[in-house]
Amino acid sequence: MALSKVTSQGWFQGSEQTRGLQFIGAIELLRLLDRLSSRPRWPSRDVPLPIVQLRRPPGVERPLDALANRPAGARGRRVPFALVDGAAESRRKLLDDVVGQLASEVRGVARLRFPRFALVGWLLDLTLPAGVEADEEEREIAREFRMHLQRRMRVTRDGMQDLAQDFPWWIRLVIGVMPRIGLALMALLWRPAKWVGEQSLGGRSHQGLYRLARAVVKDRLAERHEDEVGDLLVRALLEDLRRSHRRWTVWGTGRRRTGHPWLLLDDHDGDCAGQWLVDAIGRVRNGVQSGQSWRANPLNRPDPLLVIVAKESADVPATHAADALAGYHDWLRQLSRSGNWVLELETDATDPARGIIGALSEYPPLRLRRAVAAPLVLLVLAGSLVAVPFVNHGRCDDWWSPSLRSPLERVGAECIGVSADPLRHFVPDSVPQDIRPALEDVYGRIMAENRKAALRPDAITIVFLSVLTPSTANSFHALVEELRGVWVAQKNSDVPIKMLLANGGEGPGGRGLASSDIAADKIIELAARDRSVVAVTGLSISSDTAKSAVKRLGSNALPIIGTLTSADDMASVNEYYYQVGPNNLRESKVAAYYLRNRLNVTNVAIFFSGDTSDRYSQNLAEDARLSFAERGIVVSQYKSYRVANDDEGLAPASLGQGACPAEATPGYAVFYAGRAQYLAEFLRGMNSKCQGSTPPVVASDSSTRFILEGTMAQFPNVRLDYLSFASPAAWADCAKVPFYKNYLDVFRKTCQTLGDGRSAAAYDAMQVLAEGVRQVRRTDPGARVREGLLAGIGSIRPDNAIQGATGTIGFGASTRVPSNKAVLVLQGNTDTTSTPRLLCGELPFREDLAAGLEQDGGCPRDPQ
């Protein structure tokens, strides 16, 4: 066996060493071999490799020595190769020589291992002492295997190589200590051993390594079936190469092998081991264990061995080396029909081609692509580890969460969307310390009820959509009250309810529900996955963003019950929206009646928000102007205050200064239709100008928190009356009203310290939904709740009204707003309490339960 020396100067070693390649078409041949040597990056592009047979005339120097320099001198990762003489003493020696050279150390890649070939070789060498009893055969076979591992060496290009390296460490360990158990475990657990035990030899499969070993020894299969044994060795060799180059498994080590190993075989015409090996490789490739054939699918698990055979022959092949690439394509197209794995090329270097030596000297060395799969995976993994925390932070999720879908999205500093764990998502650092315990308490109570509801198969899910991350203490107090009302309804309902909290975000300037579109989309996504989600409640403010959220939810057939929304056009967005409070038109009519009949007002100034997205304030101001005109009240001023720099109007303080009449005007009053957060500034401006003659002010229902926070103490000289949807002050003893009794018992308050109707409004919204569910299940116990809930809610009419904590609730035929809903006018006191001045509308629980205000007989009534 002759191997060319490889130096650092490249593959070309001079004209003498490349004499066998000095023929026409040598460069084309090298291009083909380089192309076949490089493995495609994607496993799906693997194709069968031909047996390239290079025919030369007798007496001409063989090209194999020069070709061996190509894999040996490859740049970057080198390619394992074997240069063998086909005139070997035996087939076994030829294959041992091939395996020994292919298993040599190669720069840049791990050694090739041949465990299946080693096991088959052990079987062929296996002998048992004469006279061994049948029950001792397994012990002797195991002992022979241990001795085989200890004494068997393999000759490689680097010297002697221990065969034990083909076996994993645990097999070597167990075999060395307990041979019999080790061999049994190997046959049972190790894939190469299982593969060998499944091979057919002697015309049948022996189904196991032990049985095959006995058959080889007792039936002398190696001697009786020499051809089958040879094919088994070749099959084991190719299977080992397939496995060492595999890329289809997660831990496939073949991803780092970017080149195909070469087998350079000097064949000798006639019946020699080299010719047999060529034929055996073709036979093995044409048939696989499953019975499928390369004829049916030549791409079925191709082995990675590139075989190059040099053969002396007087017969001239049809394809010349100059047409090597075209010949290869023709061979590949015909492979499935012909089953011929040999690609014959004519190479005649008898008369060296002119200029070929120079062309060979300039031809670059073999270059293989870099194995980027593993680094790329590591890079992607590292990038993921870096990116995942940022992505999950943007989704308000745990930094390590592997989830690909999140019901939340971070907008600025707020988590927007739906959460079943509000304690984690909706308790920002900005929560005032005096409010944090109450907020965490009510969240914890809702989550506890959710766990109970989850155990009930008939439970429904309702989403509470509101501003859960406000920026002011007043807003957090209001949120706590609403959530407490939700919890009281959830706890006392005979319909098991799971409450999810959805944050619409406050947004810049405290406008509220700035990201309600995102929250609505998250609710819609949740409802598409979870059929128990039946409705949405909340929406405590009337704004463009709230209206947009109603559109989105309604277009996906989700009913919405507004708690404190009152803008007139909210109820006309779509048929899926209802509300438990009166609309602005009814409020304005009550305000006009109160001003004219109780305060004898004939002249009024109306002030409202200049924020065009604040539908509540602008709509209430317009309704008030019309209602006041109907009562004969002159509107002397109609002005807006500025919230942002781009809004219309003056600053609230400047507007307050303009509210003072130039001279004493009997019957003059101010109607403030703005938001509570600007009321103090408005009153300061008014006080600074009015000089002790401050006119009475009637404010909108938004001003409730202004009174409850004690801000009225700063304005003892101002008479401030305000509208309210609901208040415990409506009853002489609110503790006798079922809702307030449950509320006060749990949260340890009194009717005097409660003062806010927000919790009652949230409670009533939940009552409406629960009654709608009852109506659906009464009609058809097996019906889906979501599909029938809208009709169930619509069936709540004035004649079968709900006895709500804020008043009786019965919806009109076409308005989806409670008919003649109770509206209170309260006078704010400096000690956070309020004095009732007027009730328009009907309160439930008459005097036998809770003595309350009597409705004024002249109050306006809604058209029927």
In sequence order, the β-bridge partners of residue 498 are 461
Q: Is the pLDDT of residue 291 over 60?
A: no
The string over 394-408, giving b where at least 16 C-beta atoms fall within 10 Å of a residue's C-beta and e elsewhere, is ebbbeeeeeeeebbb
Q: What pLDDT, on the 0 to 100 scale, is given for residue 620?
A: 96
* Three-class secondary structure of residue 731 per DSSP: strand
Per-residue confidence at 292, pLDDT binned at 50, 70, 90?
A: very low
Query: Is the distance from CB of 334 to CB of 41 less than 8 angstroms?
Result: no
Does residue 28 surpass a pLDDT of 80?
yes
Report the Cα 81 to chain-centroid distance in Å.
46
Q: What pLDDT, on a 0 to 100 scale, did the predictor assign at position 174?
A: 73
For 62-77, what is each residue's pLDDT tens digit? 888 888 888 887 776 6
Task: Give 316-335 pLDDT, tens digit per residue.
Answer: 888 998 899 999 999 998 88
For residue 533, the cross-strand partners are: 461
Question: Does 544 have pLDDT greater than 80?
Answer: yes
Is it the case that residue 6 has pLDDT exceeding 70? no
User: How far is Cα 750 from Cα 478, in angstroms, rounded to an integer?
Assistant: 17
pLDDT category of residue 678 using cuts at 50, 70 and 90: very high
pLDDT score recorded for residue 154: 53
| pLDDT for res 609 | 92
Q: How confident is the model at residue 157 (pLDDT cuts 50, 70, 90)?
A: low
The CATH architecture to which 19-109+259-371 belongs is: 3-Layer(aba) Sandwich (3.40)
Rounded to the nearest angstrom, the gap between the alpha carbon of residue 852 and the centroid of all alpha carbons in its chain is 55
pLDDT at 417: 95
Reported as a pLDDT band with limits 50, 70 and 90, residue 771 is: very high
Q: What pLDDT score does 8 carry?
A: 39
- The distance of Cα 429 from the centroid of its chain, to the nearest Å, equals 28
Residue 388, token pair as written in the block: 């995942």
pLDDT band for 290, please (50, 70, 90 cuts).
very low
Q: Per-domain residue ranges for the chain?
A: 19-109+259-371, 110-256, 407-462+469-558, 583-724, 733-855
Q: Can you tell me the mean pLDDT for 529-550?
A: 93
Q: Is the pLDDT assigned to residue 415 strictly greater than 90?
A: yes
Residue 408 has pLDDT above 60, yes or no: yes
Question: What was the pLDDT predicted at 679?
Answer: 94
**CB contact at 8 A, 448 and 519:** no
Most confident region among 87-91, 340-344, 627-631 by mean pLDDT = 627-631
User: What per-residue confidence (pLDDT) applies to 793?
Assistant: 95
Residue the block writes with tokens 């195991």:
142
Does 622 have pLDDT greater than 70? yes
Residue 38: its H or E element: none
Digit-coded pLDDT (tens) for 703-746 = 888 888 889 999 999 999 999 987 888 888 888 888 999 999 99
Q: Residue 262: helix, strand or coil by DSSP? A: strand
User: From CA 654, how far away is CA 685, in angstroms rounded?
Assistant: 6
Among 152-156, 374-378, 488-492, whose mean pLDDT is lowest? 152-156
Phi, then psi, of 616 in degrees rounded to 5: -60, -55
The per-residue pLDDT for range 425-435, each reduced to its tens digit, is: 999 998 999 99
Mean pLDDT calculated for residue range 772-797 = 92
Choose between 359 and 455: higher pLDDT: 455
Contact 424, 417 (CB under 8 A): no
More confident residue, 655 or 119: 655
Which two tokens mark 753?
């310290």
Does this chain's domain 19-109+259-371 share its CATH topology with 583-724? Answer: yes
Place of tokens 């819609």: 524
pLDDT of residue 716: 92
Extract the runs of DSSP E, i.e. beta strands, from 130-256.
Answer: 153-156, 159-162, 200-201, 204-205
Q: What percent of the chain has pLDDT over 90?
A: 42
Q: What percent of the chain has pLDDT over 70?
A: 89
Out of 33-37, 236-240, 332-336, 682-686, the most confident range is 682-686
pLDDT at 87: 83
Q: In this structure, are residues 588 and 624 in contact, taking their beta carbons and an 8 Å threshold?
A: yes
- CB contact at 8 A, 187 and 214: no
CATH code for the domain defined by 583-724: 3.40.50.2300
- Under 8 Å CB-to-CB from 780, ≥6 apart: which residues? 788
| pLDDT above 80 for 204 | no
pLDDT of residue 269: 66
Q: How far apart (Å, rounded) are the C-alpha atoms in residues 138 and 143?
A: 9
Out of 117-121, 169-173, 371-375, 445-449, the most confident range is 445-449
Is a pLDDT exceeding 90 seen at residue 794? yes
Q: Give the pLDDT score at 377.
A: 64
pLDDT at 5: 42
SS3 of the chain: helix, strand, coil, percent, to 5: 45, 15, 40
CA 845 to chain centre: 52
pLDDT tops 80 at residue 383: no
Q: pTM (2 decimals)? A: 0.64
